[in-house]
Structure 1
Amino acid sequence: MIKVLAGVWALLLGVVLIMLGNGMHFTLIGLRGDLEGFSSAELAIVTSGYFAGFLSGARLSPVMIRNVGHVRVFAALGSFMSAGLIAFPLIAEPWAWTALRVLVGFCMSGIYVTAESWLNDAADNRTRGKVLSAYMIAQTLGIIGAQALLTLGDAATAVLFIVASILVSISFAPILLSAGRVPAQEVARPMSLRGLFKKSPLGTVGIFLLGGVYATQSGMGAVFGAQIGLTADQIALFVAMLFAGALVLQYPIGWMSDRLDRRRLIFGSAALGAACCGLGWMAGDGLWFLMAAAFFAGGVTTPLYALFLAYTNDYLSVEDMPAASGGLVLTFGVGAILGPLFAGWAMQVIGPGGFWVILGATFSAIALYALYRMTQRAATPVEDTESYLSVLPTASPVAVETAGAWAVEQAEIKAEEAETEAEREAEREAERKADAAADR
């Protein structure tokens, strides 16, 4: 693992710095928006703007890369993102913030596509799984670390926005100085939603609903904290817990994913998320109950994303996987745009607790649909399933396709190893029979 990291450490450092800046701005929007008097509905629209921009960037960035190259696209998008972050405190209007969030989301998506293309090029079949895992850990650590940085300043000033902009700006150095020229990453045209649903109804519906969960947690968590009267430090801790849980729960859920019927695991994870949302709703402003609810509700969200990807791949041919990956990213993105809008409406109508109500209802819908699908199709034998690999919901189609290709490679390796072992066992059995015949 050390040898693998030695070749990509600069890229991973740049990713951590980017995520520090991006993670700060996500929480700052909720904190500063509350201070500016924005309503829940207005902040929900601002939140959805980011995911609308992100979805657009996922489609257009590969075209831009093919036209002008990775370095120029990365530098241009990074510059626009840095400028966008520093502009938030200058124009404190919901319409302006929505436009800026669309810009930041678009830039962030393009940055992901470019960085993930470089990482994919730096890995080979033997190391790709480890490189992707390290990349996902770096992203999560960056988001969590960003919450700690928020405690060092006052959201009422421009200082924290400036810090976020600086972090994004200096992230260019380690990435651009270490990354070589690579061919433009070809992202497959997304499979139609009808075709994707026909192949995997649970994967399609589940990842759409999960998009709403993830966007609501990451975009409206700080809004919820501000509305129930948490301090800035407590809000930062609350948001950090939403992502820290994923670091802890990712491995055990991934381990079980390769050994159990994935639909049962999807049901259990979503049911746990729903139960924790119920705990959060009943906790009111009880700090430690809120933190526990955030830890587990947020903790199952990222593993569920990877579970849906792995589950969908179980029912696809190798040729269909790239197009299906694009379709799943598109489906997730649409859910991410709509989720905060429903949460903002609920928080406007029934108060801050609407945050937990929408999350709990969505988790419950995932669990119930998984339970229904268990009655409609037989489970895929565990030995025939694709390998599970941690993929964050923030990943671009490049990482999702790469993870799918890695899963296929691992399945082929396992099949070859099983075939070789069967041949050896047959040879040993033949030798035993020959020895027994000689003894007679």
Structure 2
Amino acid sequence: MLQVLTSSWALLLGMMLLMVGNGVQGTLLGIRGGLEGFSTFELSVVMSGYFAGFLFGSRMAPIMIRRVGHVRVFAALGSFISAVLILYPAMNDPWAWSALRVIVGFCFSGVYVTAESWLNNAADNENRGKALSLYMFVQMVGIIAAQGLLVVGDPQDFILFIIPSVLVSIAFAPILLSINPTPAYETTKGLSLRELFVISPLGCVGFLILGGVFAAQFGMASVFGQQAGLSVAQISGFVSTFYIGGLVLQYPIGWISDRMDRRVLILIVTVVAACAGLLPVVLGTHYALLLVAAFLMGGMTNPLYALLLAYVNDFLDPDDMPAASAGLIFINGIGAIAGPIVSGWVMGVMGPAGFWFYMSVLLVVLLAYGLWRTTQRAAPAPDETSAFVTMAPAASPVAVDMAHEFWADEAEAAEEES
């Protein structure tokens, strides 16, 4: 771990600052939009725009990198992010915000692809898993720290839009001054969605559903807080609790997953998350209860992403592992685009409780499908499965490729030993 930190500290520091900027703007728009009188549906479209841009960017970034190189793509997209962040308060229109969110999502996706390419290039077979773990840690810390910035200014003023813009601009300095261009970006021919579904139906359905759940957390949590009458400080604490839960519980759940039937653990985690979502629906929106529900929901669904990825990998040959990345990211992205819009519609019908009801219903669907799948195929023995690798749901295809490279290296090492 120390070796990874020593060789990649500038990249990790820059990414943490970028996540601070991204975390601030995601929560702030939900609060500011409510103050501007935007409807729940309008805000759901705004939030969905980020994920549409992110999915498109994950496919376009490799093309741009091959044409002009990592450094130019990184710098150009960073400039766009910084500019867009200070345009929001000057364009108080939901459809303008939606267009800006598409741009921001596209740019952040390209930035992640570039940064994760550098990280992958700096890692080797021995520390790739540790590099991914440290990368996920700084991402989560950045988002959590972002929520604390919301209390330093008035959401109706410009300052809270200027701060993330400045942080994003600063974030690129240590990276660009310390990173050398990586080799040409190479892509692997992907598996078709049909082939991927045949290999792991539960993994594909899980990635689709989890995309919708995570997008609601990332995009609509602040909208829920605004509708529920929470103060800015309470919304800040509420949103951060999702990520604190994900950060705290990721590692123990990963440790358990390497020692038991991974599919059973997926079902257990899904049950806990679904029950957590039903707590505010049944018992009301008392703030302490909201924090408990957010901690459990975030603590279960964030590791669930990595659990599903590892589960899919258990049924792949080492040569097919990188090929699965693009399909899984695409499936997750479709769910993420739909997530804010559908959750916004449910909130419009049910009120604030619809935020939790929407996520719980999706998780119950995943649970039912997972239970049915247990009757269709036996799970591999725990000692025959690949190791759990921490992974944030916001990761680009490059980070997923890194995980697959780690698993492929582990499989090759095991074959050599045997």
TM range (shorter): over 0.9
Map of 2:327 onto structure 1: 327
Map of 1:105 onto structure 2: 105
User: What is the Cα deviation at residue 336 of structure 1?
Assistant: 0.2
Map of 1:124 onto structure 2: 124
Question: 1 CA distance for matches of 2:185 and 2:246?
Answer: 28
Q: How does 1:346-385 map to 2 (within 5 A)?
A: 346-385=346-385
Contact 1:386 1:408 in 2 (8 A): no
Are 1:340 and 2:340 an aligned pair? yes
Map of 2:84 onto structure 1: 84
Question: 2 CA distance for matches of 1:68 and 1:291?
Answer: 45
User: What is the Cα deviation at residue 37 of structure 1?
Assistant: 0.6
Map of 1:437 onto structure 2: none
Contact 1:62 1:184 in 2 (8 A): no
Question: 2 CA distance for matches of 1:318 and 1:82?
Answer: 40
Give the length in aligned residue pairs.
418
User: What is the Cα deviation at residue 387 of structure 1?
Assistant: 1.3
Q: Say which is worse superposed, 225-234 or 402-411, in terms of deviation.
A: 402-411
Q: Deviations over 1:350-381 (max 9, x none)?
A: 11111011011011111111111100001112
Contact 2:190 2:325 in 1 (8 A): yes
AA aligned opposite 1:331: I
Question: 1 CA distance for matches of 2:244 and 2:36?
Answer: 29
Map of 1:291 onto structure 2: 291
Map of 2:396 onto structure 1: 396
Question: 2 CA distance for matches of 1:58 and 1:301?
Answer: 22
Contact 2:321 2:408 in 1 (8 A): no
AA aligned opposite 2:270: A
Map of 1:159 onto structure 2: 159
Map of 1:6 onto structure 2: 6
AA aligned opposite 1:275: C
User: What is the Cα deviation at residue 414 of structure 1?
Assistant: 4.0
Q: Deviations over 1:188-226 (max 9, x none)?
A: 344222111111000000110000000001100000000
Map of 1:206 onto structure 2: 206
- Secondary structure, in 3 states, of the residue corresponding to 2:323? helix
Alpha carbons of structure 1 residues 375 and 287: separation in structure 2 relative to 1, 3 Å: same
AA aligned opposite 2:214: Y
User: What is the Cα deviation at residue 127 of structure 1?
Assistant: 1.4
Q: Say which is worse superposed, 44-53 or 276-285, in terms of deviation.
A: 276-285
- Secondary structure, in 3 states, of the residue corresponding to 1:37? coil
Larger Rg: 1
User: What is the Cα deviation at residue 130 of structure 1?
Assistant: 1.1
Map of 1:42 onto structure 2: 42
Q: Say which is worse superposed, 329-338 or 385-394, in terms of deviation.
A: 385-394
Map of 1:386 onto structure 2: 386
AA aligned opposite 1:41: F
User: What is the Cα deviation at residue 184 of structure 1?
Assistant: 2.5
User: What is the Cα deviation at residue 263 of structure 1?
Assistant: 1.0
Question: 2 CA distance for matches of 1:176 and 1:189?
Answer: 30
Contact 2:57 2:106 in 1 (8 A): yes
Q: How does 1:55-74 map to 2 (within 5 A)?
A: 55-74=55-74
Structure 1 gap ranges (5+): 420-440
Question: 1 CA distance for matches of 2:189 and 2:358?
Answer: 32
Q: Say which is worse superposed, 365-374 or 199-208, in terms of deviation.
A: 365-374
Map of 2:267 onto structure 1: 267
AA aligned opposite 1:232: V
User: What is the Cα deviation at residue 412 of structure 1?
Assistant: 3.1
User: What is the Cα deviation at residue 406 of structure 1?
Assistant: 0.2
Contact 1:388 1:407 in 2 (8 A): no
Question: 1 CA distance for matches of 2:85 and 2:234?
Answer: 23
User: What is the Cα deviation at residue 416 of structure 1?
Assistant: 4.2
Contact 1:187 1:398 in 2 (8 A): no
Contact 2:318 2:411 in 1 (8 A): no
Question: 2 CA distance for matches of 1:276 and 1:368?
Answer: 17
Q: Say which is worse superposed, 187-196 or 123-132, in terms of deviation.
A: 187-196
Question: 1 CA distance for matches of 2:415 and 2:193?
Answer: 31
Contact 1:253 1:303 in 2 (8 A): yes
Map of 1:430 onto structure 2: none
Contact 1:207 1:331 in 2 (8 A): yes
Contact 1:133 1:390 in 2 (8 A): yes
Contact 1:215 1:340 in 2 (8 A): yes
Alpha carbons of structure 1 residues 189 and 59: separation in structure 2 relative to 1, 3 Å: farther
Contact 1:153 1:159 in 2 (8 A): yes
Contact 1:263 1:371 in 2 (8 A): no
TM-score by length of 1: 0.93
TM-score by length of 2: 0.98
User: What is the Cα deviation at residue 284 of structure 1?
Assistant: 2.3
User: What is the Cα deviation at residue 185 of structure 1?
Assistant: 2.2
Question: 2 CA distance for matches of 1:164 and 1:281?
Answer: 34
AA aligned opposite 2:153: G
What is the root-mean-square deviation of aligned Cα atoms in Å?
A: 1.0
Question: 2 CA distance for matches of 1:190 and 1:25?
Answer: 33
AA aligned opposite 2:21: G
Contact 2:319 2:408 in 1 (8 A): no
AA aligned opposite 1:18: L
Structure 2 gap ranges (5+): none
Question: 1 CA distance for matches of 2:215 and 2:61?
Answer: 21
Contact 2:19 2:139 in 1 (8 A): yes
- Secondary structure, in 3 states, of the residue corresponding to 1:181? coil
Question: 2 CA distance for matches of 1:166 and 1:108?
Answer: 16
Q: Deviations over 1:146-172 (max 9, x none)?
A: 001111111111110110111111001
- Secondary structure, in 3 states, of the residue corresponding to 2:152? coil
User: What is the Cα deviation at residue 282 of structure 1?
Assistant: 2.6
